[in-house]
Amino acid sequence: MESRKRTLEERNDGYKTPEKEVSAFLVSDSDYIHWGVEETCQYLRKEDLGEWEDTFRAQKITGAGLQCLHDAHLEKIGISCLGDRLKILHSLRKLWRVVAERNKVFNDPIHGHVELHPLLIKIIDTPQFQRLRNIKQLGATYLVFPGASHNRFEHSLGVGYLAGQLLQALNERQPELLISPRDILCVQIAGLCHDLGHGPFSHMFDNTFLPKARPEKTWKHEAASLAMFDYLVEDNDLKPVMEQHGLELPQDLDFIKEQIAGPLDADVDQVQKIQKEQSGFNFEWPFKGRQKDKSFLYEIVANKRNGIDVDKWDYFARDCYHLGIQANFDYRRFLKFARVCEVDGQKLICTRDKEVGNLYDLFHTRNCLHRRAYQHKVCNIIETMITEAFLKADQYIQIEGSGGKMFTLSKAIDDMVAFTKLTDNIFEQILNSSSSELADAREILRNIVCRRLYKCLGQTQPGNKIKITPATISHWEAELARATPQSGSQDVSLQPEDFIVSVIVLDYGMDEKDPIDNVRFYCKKDPTKAIQIRKNQVSKLLPEHFAEQLIRVYCKKMDEKSVEAARKHFVQWCMDKNFSKPQDGDIIAPELTPLKPSWANNNQDKTGEDDDARVKRKKLNFK
């Protein structure tokens, strides 16, 4: 037994728990901001750059100036050779990476051990950011897919991490881009904070609830993210901390916010116009945070040019993992081939020509996630019912904001103090309340919990794209109530308010356009030249169309007799509107579907347009 025991000295010679990664440089280097001229010159000698010692001394460059030193500055003070300037900047980058605090490590199920900068930790450890722990990434999808319990919090960590990974890969591959530690930190902060403005149940709040609660107000969560970010920085006194870590304010604050929501001085319409111009590559530079020579930095967190960004990389991988759906796109491969090339005066992130098929897989994954999960028919109706409950509870929910002022559920977006308190927990607050004023809202939420849901009558498609407005939806609901088939039951009365029409748009992220048309590639033979690859150069099996409209109809009445009658109303309405035959049309209304010849003969063309619609279109075509 004694031979099996190890002495303390023997144990100390064995395995030791690894410590967190810290700087490999001397401790004194971590305080370089406080160096004088002589300490700066001493560092140059240590890095075998002593030949430039007199130049730095003559210019009185101190440690505080090192973090602001760029290539143009070095050239201006007389260092004319590009090789010498790059060598100096390389040594300075090592200094910039030295921090007085240790990075923090997170164990993430998607990306493994994620290491984040201390400034990012300062942002994470605030009430405004921690709020994201209580907002489901996929909203009501969790009530259908039990694995989808992840929140905006972990997604935001992932986006901040991936933003740093992409920039570090570009910096190692192309040091001539002169990506500074400031650039990397600002892009990571933008990735971390891009979803701060999401409300309860994520996209349901800004896409469904607010347009009905406050139809006069145009509001998007990106705008709220900017307001929440400003509040976060101010409330936690982070400006001095940011400056300590080398950020230059207010320029870098503008840069962070521009990455989240686009140009700061533009309204919603102007931003959309700029985004369209960006996709065409020729436009006047609208940003203040970084100049055109670093235009590629704006394509990392929210890429308005083609939609390929680290936000999608994280939520594709994370959502597929939690939903149990196979992901076809691997962002790690994109990292290996990403390069920056110049196109029409702009520097754009490009990838190898052989990766074009993998990028189509990315957008195919997006379409699959929307079709199978995000736009699942039960998810949609649950979110519709939650919206109804929130609308009924709106004026009775009081949230305290700045100065003690009270705000309702829909008006909390006007005050970030109040909005910080608004999370998915509002569902439980209403459900568990005893207030008589919340009785109607409480009953709807109880129906959701007990799975007494509105019934889906079916799904159809129009032959051509239709512009949808609230008036269109109301008109269709009235038509559904009037669309009584001759064989229908006469003792069931259905009203417009008994129907809910939901229109879903499925696309590849750029309406009806092919997003790959806005991607640029490079070849192995010449990695500096960007080229465009068209769909017909890739495969004949790729989509012919990149967007479609789906029309779903639900019935609020839940008794079997009313639902059966409503289904026949729906089939008759599809016939009257010349929409596609519902997939189960022959089952739910076998006496009706043969009455429409194009349905009976199954003569719909590939676009979903039937014979009747095609004849009408040809009559209008005089060419």
Task: Render 269-324 in DSSP notation, one character per residue.
Answer: HHHHHHHHHHHTT------SSS-GGGGGGGGSSS-TTTS-SHHHHHHHHHHHHHHT
End-to-end CA distance of the chain: give it in Å, rounded.
Answer: 99
For the ranges 89-103, 140-154, 392-406, 502-516, the lowest mean pLDDT is seen at 89-103
For residue range 252-267, what is the model confidence (pLDDT) as tens digits? 999 999 999 999 986 5
- Chain segment 37-89, per-residue pLDDT in tens: 998 898 898 888 999 999 999 999 988 788 778 888 899 999 999 998 888 98
- The answer to whether residues 588 and 571 touch, using CB atoms and an 8 Å cutoff, is yes
Report whether 544 contacts 606 (CB < 8 A).
yes
pLDDT confidence of residue 1: 44
| DSSP code, position 206 | I
Query: Which residues, in sequence order, are CB contacts of 38 under 8 Å at separation 6+?
Result: 57
Residue 310, number of CB atoms within 10 A of its CB: 30
Cα dist. 279→298, 348, 362, 449 in Å? 13, 11, 19, 44
Give the CA count within 13 Å in the CB-facing half-sphere of 270. Answer: 10
pLDDT of 101 reads 64
Q: Which residues pair with 455 in a beta bridge?
A: 555
Parallel/antiparallel/unpaired status of strands 521-522 and 346-352: parallel
What is the mean pLDDT of the segment spanning 407-429? 98
Name the pLDDT band for 491 (thresholds 50, 70, 90): confident
Find the helix or strand (DSSP H, E) in which 37 lies: helix 37-46
DSSP 221-282: HHHHHHHHHHHHHHHTT-HHHHHHTT--TTHHHHHHHHHHHS-TT--HHHHHHHHHHHHTT-
Of 221, 245, 322, 569, which is the active-site residue? 221
Q: What is the maximum span of the chain, computed from C-alpha positions, in angstroms?
A: 102
For strand 112-116 and strand 521-522, is the pairing parallel, antiparallel, or unpaired? unpaired
Q: DSSP per residue over 402-452, as a string?
A: GGG-EE-TTTGGG-HHHHHT-STHHHHHHHT---GGGHHHHHHHHHHHTT-
* Residue 375 pLDDT exceeds 80: yes
Backbone angles phi, psi at 35, to 5 degrees: -65, 150
Compute the mean pLDDT over every residue in the chain, rounded to the nearest whole number: 88
d(CA 448, CA 201): 15
Task: Compute the average pLDDT of residues 301-312.
Answer: 96
Query: Contact, 189 vs 120, CB < 8 A?
Result: yes
CB 90 within 8 A of CB 126: no
Can you give the length of the chain in residues? Answer: 623
Does the pTM exceed 0.85?
Answer: no
Alpha-carbon distances, residue 400 vs 186, 256, 408, 421 (angstroms): 32, 29, 9, 9
Q: From residue 575, how far is each of 65, 567, 585 by CA, in Å?
A: 74, 13, 11
**What are the structure tokens assigned to 441, written together?**
């809202």
Please report the DSSP string for 536-565 in residue order. GGT-TTS-S-SEEEEEEEEES--SHHHHHH
**196, 139, 594: which is closest to 419 by C-alpha?**
196
**Containing H/E element for 399?**
strand 399-400
| 403 Rama sector, left if φ>0, alpha if ψ -120 to 50, beta otherwise | left
| CB-based burial label for 20 (10 Å; 0-12, 13-18, 19+) | exposed
Contacts of 564 (CB under 8 A, 6+ apart): 489, 588
| 533 CB burial (10 A radius; 0-12, 13-18, 19+) | middle
Is the separation of the CB atoms in 108 and 158 below 8 Å? yes
Over pLDDT 90: what percentage of the chain? 73
**CA separation for the pair 195, 273 (Å, rounded):** 23
pLDDT digits (tens, 9 = 90+) for 450-459: 999 999 999 9
Return the DSSP state at 462: -
601/74: higher pLDDT: 74
> What pLDDT does 92 receive?
82
606 with 580: CB under 8 angstroms?
no
Q: Is the pLDDT of residue 273 over 70?
A: no
Specify whether the CB–CB gap between 509 and 366 falls below 8 A. Answer: yes
Q: What share of the chain is helix, strand, coil (3-state, %, to 5)?
A: 55, 10, 35
Question: Which two tokens mark 452?
Answer: 């007494």
Token pair in block for residue 42: 């001493």
Over residues 509-518, the mean pLDDT reads 93
Cβ atoms 325, 368 nearer than 8 A: yes
Euclidean distance between CA atoms 550 and 461, whole angstroms = 5
Place of tokens 């004949």: 540
106 has which bridge partners?
A: 114
CB atoms within 10 A of CB 241: 15
278-292 pLDDT, tens digit each: 444 456 899 999 999
User: pLDDT value at position 119?
Assistant: 95
Residue corresponding to tokens 């130049």: 55
**Contacts (Cβ under 8 Å, ≥6 apart) of 607:** 463, 545
Cα 558 to Cα 502: distance, rounded to the nearest angstrom? 18
The 10s digit of each residue's pLDDT in 196-247 is 999 999 999 999 999 999 999 999 999 999 999 999 999 999 999 999 888 9
Residue 134 corresponds to which amino acid? Answer: N
CB 96 within 8 A of CB 246: yes
pLDDT band at 7 (very low <50, low <70, confident <90, very high): very low
Per-residue tokens: 202: 């994520």
Residue 245 annotated to the active site? no
CA neighbor of 241 nearest in space, from 399, 125, 77, 398: 125
Find out whether 208 and 383 touch, Cβ atoms under 8 Å.
yes
CA–CA–CA angle 511, 145, 163 (5° rounding)? 55
292 touches 285 (CB < 8 A): yes
